Structure 1
Amino acid sequence: MTMPETYRTAIAGVGAVAEMHARSIADLDAATLVAGSCRTESTGREFASEHDCSWYADTEGMLDDADPDVLIICTPSGAHLEPTLAAAERGIDVLCEKPLEITTERIDRMIDAAESADIALGGVFQQRFTDVFQTVHDAADEGRFGTLSVANAYVPWWREDEYYADAWQGTEDLDGGGALMNQSIHGIDAMQWLASAAMDLDRDENPVEEVVAYTALRGHDDEYVEVEDTAVAALRYRNGAVGQVLGATSMYPGSLRRVQLGGRDGTAEVREDELVTWEFRDERDADAEIRETFSEQGGASGGAADPMDIDYADHRRNLAAFLGSLDSDDPYALDATEARKAVAIIEAIYESADAGEPVRLS
């Protein structure tokens, strides 16, 4: 039997989320961390010392000198395109943090470059790899919800002004939006992923057909935030189902993210990693055990008020799935086309809020 390869891995952008990936790499036999890039020397040297790797001030120089097999992109959201293009030019596979980029136009440029270079380009939505969301997705795949009626995502979070001060978060150019594009995108991705499974759509179809939305800046001064900290949207899905999105960093003190999926034959609701509703018309022997297994929420807040109050175990699962796909002929379930969908929904929400009218997704 052929043993899986150990992939030489580099990280572009060694800020807070890079720590999650560095710890994940350390846990996996299939990867070894060789380098990280960061323009701030003190930050870069500290990261390199902690994780026993090299530091580079320039990502392209790192790719040329360290010669990694895989690049993980953890730069600010609006700076994901350029390192992807650089990696594609060198034949290096890419795993990119959420959002893949801040516009679908920039994402499409990434996809075109990856396809031309024949490299893998995958996204990070670690919430998909939790046991509770995998369980709900399996039920959706099996058709247990029946005709889908509703799919909702609620992210009622809070961020202090200090989170935005002197940072790229909350800026138009590098964050691409606020509470939706940065914080709520995980809930929106989970919502559309589950809805797609319940509707049995082709992988290239976005399940959302039309949105009507409002955005506002309510909890922060515009000296800190250039974009929205509060948003609501009504959704219509391609099968006629409807849904709601709430995304906020303006709701002190912040409460847990919720995702709901409901239809003629069943409803499930996940509150962070707790399954608060699991009811189906066709009750099965395993359902009682599933309710008991996911009946208590874990210790972390999931980022409701503290962006780093998350466990890196799901990042590890996400990375392991990407590396596993490189070793096999199986497609990576969160490829660039799939990771693009949440951005397309958010882009339509912004367009609707700006125009004051419904917007259809292409």
Structure 2
Amino acid sequence: MTENVRIAIAGIGAVAEMHAESIDDLPNAELVAGSCRTAEKGDEFADEYGCNHYADTETMLDEMIPDVLVVCTPSGAHLEPTLAAANRGVHVLCEKPLEITTERIDEMIEACEAAGIRLGGVFPQRYNPVVETMYDAAASGRFGRLAVANAYVPWWRPDDYYEGAWQGTEELDGGGAVMNQSIHSVDAVQWLAGATMNIHGDENPVEEVFAYTGRLAHDDERMEVEDTAVTVLRFRNGTLGQLLGTTSMYPGSLKRVQLGGREGTAELLEDELVTWEFREEQPNDSAVRTKFTETTNGGGAADPMSIDYEYHRRNIAAYLNALTNDAPFMLDGREARKAVEIIEAIYASADRGTPVRLA
């Protein structure tokens, strides 16, 4: 892998703009092309970012021969461009979720491993400094035996968000408020809780879930899946948790994560650390409390684009650095799969009305 990584993007939608801005900021990356079936949108993207536009991803891969394909197509259409890249020996960085079922994800992982290429995922909250700080505290045992790991995503989306779009459909979204919006927090809470456990390889920190879901604020004509979900989590070490995921709570509020145990509690409101209290105070705790203050953007609570792309940039930079240095990447395909595995269990539990254990 050369130091200057040539990148193409499959799917020129809203999230592709964040990737393009991030790539533009990175000294070791060059955006060479984007694929989009809509000519006008593709040409505008190409003009703005100084790259080429293709109507077809496979043609783009054949003609541009990029080092990396970033997959930004609708969630249920991540498999096909990944397979196309694997067939050509092109590395893949894929937006969340990797795909909408673990079966399709496993096909992606197997194809990439067989081709000897790197499949990476995008969960920018893992690159949020305050979430990293919580992870380090969990990994160092500051909470003692972790008792509680909660995540709340009390968001809102208006009716026109789902009007004639792929969002909210079974085929391309694979779910609603959990699979699309709350998946970032699903990944974050399992990663944080997992830091306190002896987890091996692709073993999931979550052992069992029990969930209720409903479509309570949007009508059936616009949305096929849930806009509200409440889940109880049991982790493999006995830690208990709750997950709230909605697009039904007007006007939308910032997401929240809580970790707590006998030795301390930390609570995060978007980027603000509202609680950082431990039985044993450490010298830098006061500085930590003052470092992470009030969030300055909407956090996606009502507008999916009211977020800072800085954590996307850090996520992409980490993936590219892993490629160029032949080093491990925290969000490889098997790790990025875990959030979808949990969400599949949530939907199965809601359908059956019973707890569901993860494999």
Provide the C-alpha distance between the structure 1 equivalents of 2:102 and 2:299, rounded to a whole number of angstroms: 27
Q: Which of these residues, 224, 240, 243, is aligned with residue 226 of structure 1?
A: 224
Superposed CA deviations along residues 286-318 of structure 1, whole A, max 9, x for unmatched, are 001100111x22221110000000011111000
Asked if the contact 1:148/1:199 (under 8 Å) is kept, the reply is: no
Provide the C-alpha distance between the structure 1 equivalents of 2:234 and 2:24, rounded to a whole number of angstroms: 43
1:31-110 to 2 correspondences below 5 Å: 31-110=29-108
- Displacement after TM superposition at 1:200 (Å): 3.6
Provide the C-alpha distance between the structure 1 equivalents of 2:150 and 2:207, rounded to a whole number of angstroms: 14
Q: Which amino acid aligns with 1:219?
A: A
Provide the C-alpha distance between the structure 2 equivalents of 1:168 and 1:227, rounded to a whole number of angstroms: 12
Provide the C-alpha distance between the structure 2 equivalents of 1:184 and 1:203, rounded to a whole number of angstroms: 24
Aligned-partner SS, 1:25: helix
What residue is the counterpart of 1:317 in the other structure? 314
Aligned-partner SS, 2:241: strand
Percent identity, aligned pairs only?
69
Q: Which amino acid aligns with 1:350?
A: Y
Asked if the contact 1:73/1:94 (under 8 Å) is kept, the reply is: yes
Provide the C-alpha distance between the structure 2 equivalents of 1:281 and 1:188, rounded to a whole number of angstroms: 28
Asked if the contact 1:301/1:309 (under 8 Å) is kept, the reply is: yes
- Displacement after TM superposition at 1:241 (Å): 1.1
Q: Which of these residues, 325, 329, 332, is aligned with residue 326 of structure 2?
A: 329
Aligned-partner SS, 2:195: helix
- Displacement after TM superposition at 1:199 (Å): 1.9
- Displacement after TM superposition at 1:269 (Å): 1.0
1:250 aligns with 2:248: yes
CA RMSD across the alignment: 1.0
What residue is the counterpart of 1:140 in the other structure? 138
Provide the C-alpha distance between the structure 2 equivalents of 1:120 and 1:87, rounded to a whole number of angstroms: 11
Provide the C-alpha distance between the structure 1 equivalents of 2:301 and 2:233, rounded to a whole number of angstroms: 24
Aligned-partner SS, 2:284: helix
- Displacement after TM superposition at 1:330 (Å): 2.1
1:120 aligns with 2:109: no
- Displacement after TM superposition at 1:4 (Å): 6.5
- Displacement after TM superposition at 1:201 (Å): 2.0
Provide the C-alpha distance between the structure 2 equivalents of 1:118 and 1:4, rounded to a whole number of angstroms: 17
Asked if the contact 1:141/1:200 (under 8 Å) is kept, the reply is: no
Provide the C-alpha distance between the structure 1 equivalents of 2:266 and 2:326, rounded to a whole number of angstroms: 33
Superposed CA deviations along residues 190-212 of structure 1, whole A, max 9, x for unmatched, are 00000000224224221110011
Provide the C-alpha distance between the structure 2 equivalents of 1:235 and 1:172, rounded to a whole number of angstroms: 24
1:178 aligns with 2:144: no
Provide the C-alpha distance between the structure 2 equivalents of 1:141 and 1:212, rounded to a whole number of angstroms: 27
- Displacement after TM superposition at 1:139 (Å): 0.9
Q: Which of these residues, 275, 278, 292, is aligned with residue 276 of structure 2?
A: 278
TM-score, normalised relative to structure 2: 0.99
Provide the C-alpha distance between the structure 2 equivalents of 1:306 and 1:200, rounded to a whole number of angstroms: 38
Structure 1: tracts of 5 or more residues without a match? none
Provide the C-alpha distance between the structure 1 equivalents of 2:9 and 2:327, rounded to a whole number of angstroms: 24
Asked if the contact 1:220/1:250 (under 8 Å) is kept, the reply is: yes
TM-score, normalised relative to structure 1: 0.98
Q: Which amino acid aligns with 2:82?
A: T
- Displacement after TM superposition at 1:147 (Å): 0.7
- Displacement after TM superposition at 1:262 (Å): 1.1
Q: Which of these residues, 205, 210, 216, is aligned with residue 208 of structure 2?
A: 210
Superposed CA deviations along residues 234-278 of structure 1, whole A, max 9, x for unmatched, are 111101111101000000000000111111211111111011111
Asked if the contact 1:150/1:261 (under 8 Å) is kept, the reply is: yes
202-211 vs 12-21, which moves further: 202-211
Q: Which amino acid aligns with 2:340?
A: V
1:297 aligns with 2:294: yes
Asked if the contact 1:85/1:113 (under 8 Å) is kept, the reply is: yes
- Displacement after TM superposition at 1:358 (Å): 0.7
Provide the C-alpha distance between the structure 2 equivalents of 1:18 and 1:284, rounded to a whole number of angstroms: 41
What residue is the counterpart of 2:355 in the other structure? 358
Aligned-partner SS, 1:155: strand
CA change 1:146–1:4 in 2 (3 A) is: farther
Q: Which amino acid aligns with 1:109?
A: E
Aligned-partner SS, 1:285: coil
Q: Which amino acid aligns with 1:220?
A: H
Superposed CA deviations along residues 95-114 of structure 1, whole A, max 9, x for unmatched, are 00000000000000000001
Provide the C-alpha distance between the structure 2 equivalents of 1:200 and 1:151, rounded to a whole number of angstroms: 16
- Displacement after TM superposition at 1:329 (Å): 3.3
Provide the C-alpha distance between the structure 1 equivalents of 2:51 and 2:279, rounded to a whole number of angstroms: 54
What residue is the counterpart of 1:345 in the other structure? 342
Provide the C-alpha distance between the structure 2 equivalents of 1:200 and 1:306, rounded to a whole number of angstroms: 38
What residue is the counterpart of 1:166 in the other structure? 164
Aligned-partner SS, 2:260: strand
Asked if the contact 1:39/1:58 (under 8 Å) is kept, the reply is: yes
Superposed CA deviations along residues 159-185 of structure 1, whole A, max 9, x for unmatched, are 000111011000000000000000000
217-226 vs 201-210, which moves further: 201-210
What residue is the counterpart of 2:233 in the other structure? 235
